[in-house]
A and B are shown apart, each in its own frame.
Chain A
Amino acid sequence: MIDTEYDVVVVGAGPGGSITAKNCAERGMKTLMVEKRQMIGDPVRCAEGIAKHTVKKHIEPNPRWICAEAKGFRIFSPSGIKVEMVGEFESGEVGYVLDRKLFDRALAHEAARSGATILVKTRATGLLIEDGKVCGVELEHLGKKFCVRAKVVVGADGVESKVGRWAGMNTSLKPKDIETCAQALVYDPSTDQEFCEFYLGREIAPGGYAWIFPKGEGCANVGLGILGSFSDAGAPFNYLNNFLKKYLPNAKILEIIVGGVPVSKPTDGIVGEGIVLVGDAARQSDPLTGGGIGNAMEAGAIAGEVVSEAISEGDTSAERLREYEERWFKEMGKRLMRNWLVKEHIISLSDEELDKLAKSIADVKFKGLQLYELLKHLVRRNPKLLWKLKGYI
């Protein structure tokens, strides 16, 4: 069933891996996708929000994995000043709230339907490297170790990525470059099922924010992220308990999950000889919002296209594969760079300054605007506080 040679081996079957595998298989590449877990999509480590148009670009929306549809979002400043936006957003993670367990599986199903071979409960334990070029992976499946050769290896192995590191790419995250998060799926009929809510403040989530995303039927994902450099052992979980006590004291917890989200500066160096990285493994999540599903899928589509072309041309060198990195940066990297700068600046502000920012735009009736527009309003109305961002917004 499993051959010893493929055109492409994708490590990791999250949204980034599955879309890459799908796009390679569709172009006739002999594609293998391996997933170390025995169940694709589970356990979830995600707040599950994503813009509708991003989903639609890659897969036909299906009510089976759409839990709720938000019509806008609200941001609450530390003292509770509300900023509300209604409409679809260019880069926000607002629109659908997904059931990632089913969504991830649906994407893997798409990859399978396009012709990719999928192997679950299969862990990559290392890379085959010859003359400085990646030419395959070492795998372990049910206690059996074996090697598979590939013209290109795609590392889509998530926040805890090893594939890039094995190839000598330094993708380890510093504490200041990761949000450490905790989330509860709760049942509480008082939760607003039409809005995604964000709460800012040092007392709430230092260096990050708390969120309440509707999940349908009176349920919501309630979570928060703390910047690693502001965190301490177990802090996210403790902050989450405090948040729940304060904002949703009657919530009944149906599930708890934890996870890390890369919020580092968008990096080059996501391609090497015979290797590309995609999604959280390439640190492509949005440093400001923390959203990563859409970015991983967008990157996966580009990677799938470039990798397939490179293989067809018989040139899988880093130089050839760099087209993926360049196109990715052109399409997403610029926005992520801007959002990284905004994030870096916002975490340096005091609660009082955040309140001031919220107050300055609280009267603006945002409708169908983009996150960029909100930032523009903020910079325009707070030139002193946000002078550092002036050139970028």
Chain B
Amino acid sequence: MVLNVNRYVCGYCGACVAVCPHCVLELVETWLEIGSGCTECGTCVKICPVGALSLDEVKA
């Protein structure tokens, strides 16, 4: 599985960054960056207020 962000949906609020247990996400202005070290735990997917994050089979 791989974590994807739909940038057309993302509200760039940073809630996902706050809950990421591995400090993998970073928000700069409207740009959510997914760094290395993601364990696909899905915490950020559940927390996202707009549903911009998803765990998929392939990298979008």
Contacts and interface: CB of A to CB of B under 8 A. Distances in A.
Interface of A: 36-38, 43, 45, 123, 158-162, 165, 172-175, 178, 180-182, 228, 231-237, 256-260, 262
Given A162-B23, A233-B46, A233-B51, A36 B29 contact: yes
Contacts of A175: 19, 43, 46-47
Contacts of B54: 233
Contacts of B11: 256-259
- Interface-centre pick from B27, B46, B53 (highest chain A CB count, 10 A): B46
Contacts of A36: 28-29
B7 to A, nearest CB: 14
Given A36-B29, A172-B23, A233-B54, A260 B46 contact: no
B37 to A, nearest CB: 13
Nearest to A45: B13
Nearest to B22: A172
Nearest to A256: B11
A159 B14 contact: yes
B50 A234 contact: yes
5 contacts: A175-B47, A178-B18, A228-B47, A233-B46, A260-B18
A71 B59 CA distance: 52
A173 B19 contact: yes
B20 interface: yes
A161 B18 CA distance: 7
B41 to A, nearest CB: 11
A37 B29 contact: yes
A182 B21 CA distance: 23
Contacts of A262: 18
B3 interface: no
Given A38-B29, A45-B14, A235-B49, 10 more contacts: A178-B15, A180-B49, A228-B19, A236-B49, A258-B13, A258-B50, A259-B14, A259-B15, A260-B18, A260-B19
